[in-house]
Amino acid sequence: MPYFDAASAAPLHPVAREALLASLDEGWADPARLYREGRRARLLLDAAREAAAEAVGCRPDEVVFTPSGTQAVHSGVAGALAARRRAGRRLLYSAVEHSSVLHAAEVHAAAGGSCTELAVDRGGRVAAGDVAAALSPDTALVCLQSANHEVGTEQPVEEVAALCQEAGVPLLVDAAQSLPWGPVPGGWSLLAASAHKWGGPAGVGLLAVRKGTRFAPQGPRDERESGRSPGFENIPAIVAAAASLRALRAGPETAAEAARLRKLVDRIRTRVPELVPDVEVAGDPVHRLPHLVTFSCLYVDGEALLHELDRAGFSVSSGSSCTSSTLTPSHVLRAMGVLSEGNVRVSLPYGTEGAEVERFLEVLPAVVRSVRERLGVPAAGRETAAGREPVAATAGGGPEAAAGGPVAAPAAAEEPGEPGESVEPGESTASAEPAGLVVDSLGKRCPLPVIELAKAVLEVPVGGTVTVLADDEAARQDIPAWCAMREQEYVGERPAERGAAYVVRRRA
């Protein structure tokens, strides 16, 4: 069964497996003790630190091991901010950072600090100029991932590091996704990573703090790991993590494998939109990781799509809200302004065969088509009014569902506005604009509100409006994205008694 979710956890590297088994016999003792078993464990730990430092591109005494990559990020952010409290309390980070950075920012804000989120372009990339403009005398720390975990977009770390150095502000880089493919360039100050992303065992994180970077560890601490990560080290797992990372750096095969996987991903990026109608491929097409691609399928329930792909033998992941316990769309896709429904992330592990990718491309169109058919989407995803149930309005003017169909009622047209602009209640020019429809999608999760919008838009004349009432948070993202894909005008959003009202004007 092809496993296409290396961005979540890469399969255990063969070198990691061998090192883990060997160190279970040799590295079980307390490395802080002076007896023979302790000295042996200390030697293994020191060797692992040296190997990890060489792969990262720093000194061994700058590296500490943590229980996870998330813990490394939290410790790095908290320690750097605490050490620079006198300089300022402002934290800068991109809108597409890993949730560990966002959670650390929430804690900082709750403690009285200030946070500034940097916007990204539609490819998910931060502009170095925006970072330069946001840097201020009270900036204590900048956080920027080397590459995104959902769409694979690489960030301009080297440029940002130079800007931070010039401003005298430390830069923390979350290198979890890119470290398997090479060291992070530039003069970064702190770096965090996670072993299970590169084929090491889970439960091992890495935090590097370069000499000269002010750092004050927070929380309870002890004498282990320079006081930055308390508790007994899991030496067998650390040894296995370092061994696998060193193996990836030792020979030319990593670069060759990256080039091979990039070609496979290029094929997915090219063929999926050709094979499946109404697909948006997300992420920067040039500045990206070699093994990762993300795309979203219009009119598709993400959870159903993942289940069907799993039944077909493919393990993939998704950023769709319907696959999340929070029922909110991915903050990464939201920040990029791209479609979130029917989202699929494919991240190929080392050794993925071309035949596996070809079979995925063969299976995908039928899987998407079957999910769409279950949701009542016309063939090929094309909007049509065929099969639309009759609708009726309540006496009070509110929409009421006819049996089995979306709810629609005539509505006064909305004041035109700039795309994405909020429409305030009462801004109506019904005398100048064609009448529209109201579609009641309250209580329905995406993609249903978008599907009902697609059917309703053909029932109004060109220039008319459709107002979708929805309380699913994903509608705020997916309705504007649908408009961009279908060349319709997104007028804006206004408050409603429940949820929000999203106004769309038919342009074609």
- DSSP string over 177-231: TTGGG-PPPS--SEEEEEGGGTTS-SS-EEEEE-TT------SS--SGGGGTS-S
> Residue 57, Cβ neighbours under 10 Å: how many?
15
Q: In this structure, which long-range contacts are made by residues 223-227, counting pairs with CB atoms below 8 Å and at least 24 apart in sequence? A: 223/32, 224/32, 225/64, 225/65, 225/66, 226/61, 226/64
Say which amino acid occupies 394.
T
Q: For residue 427, what are the contacts with CB-CB under 8 A and spacing of at least 6?
A: 414, 415
Asked if 383 and 458 count as a contact pair (C-beta separation under 8 A), the reply is yes
Is the separation of the CB atoms in 504 and 453 below 8 Å? yes
Within 10 angstroms of residue 115's Cβ, the number of other Cβ atoms is 15
| Catalytic status, residue 322 | yes
Strand partners for 470 = 500
Q: Which of 143, 104, 447, 88 is nearest to 299 (CA)?
A: 447
Q: For residue 31, what are its two tokens?
A: 């490395």
Q: Which of 58, 143, 164, 322 is catalytic?
A: 322
Token pair for 11: 């399969």
Q: Can you list the alpha helix ranges (DSSP code H) found in 5-112?
A: 14-26, 36-56, 69-83, 99-110
Q: Angle 448-456/475-486 helices, nearest 10 degrees?
A: 40
Q: Cβ neighbours of residue 336 under 8 Å, at least 6 residues apart?
A: 96, 120, 121, 122, 123, 124, 151, 282
The DSSP annotation for 308-369 comes to: HHHHTT-B-B---GGGSTT-S--HHHHHHT---TTEEEEEPPTT--HHHHHHHHHHHHHHHH
Q: Which residues belong to the active site?
A: 322
